[in-house]
Amino acid sequence: MLIRPYQPADTEQIVHLYFNTVHTISRQHYTEEEVNAWAPEILDPVRWAARYRTRITFVAEENATVAGFAELEPNGHIDCFYCHHAYQRQGVGTQLYKRLEAEARSLGLVRLFTEASITAKPFFEQIGFQTTHQNQIARGSVILINFSMEKYLNPLAPSSIPS
């Protein structure tokens, strides 16, 4: 598994990965109405590519397939963090997170934070994030539950995520 910086050629696979992951994996914890509100349609790759001008994005690649991606904003916010439904529980998320945390440390960030879905919350807890509060997010007339989570980085310690 190769963890590398995002390249524009990745955009289309990322868009499909996002949509398919929400509609397959997140269905464990969210209704059809909720996942349709969260990811209503496969989005325009051009619009997604524009996102990456303001974020540091890493891609997990396996045999020319994008197996996952993670976005870090300059303030420490982790926006999208998704693993392909066919690569769940294979260490993709852990490897992406390690790379993302290393980048955060190199930027001098002391705190990472995210809004994790019900589905993603256990993963973030496992890598040391703490829940600060539960959110109710409106997507049109649909309310989605997610969790604000954060992790403080000890600037003197290496990543606490096991290999």
pLDDT at 85 over 80: yes
- Predicted TM-score (pTM) of the model is 0.90
How far apart (Å, rounded) are the C-alpha atoms in residues 101 and 112? 8
pLDDT in tens, 147-160: 999 999 976 655 65
Domains and CATH numbers, the chain: 2-110 (3.40.630.30)
pLDDT at 161 over 70: no
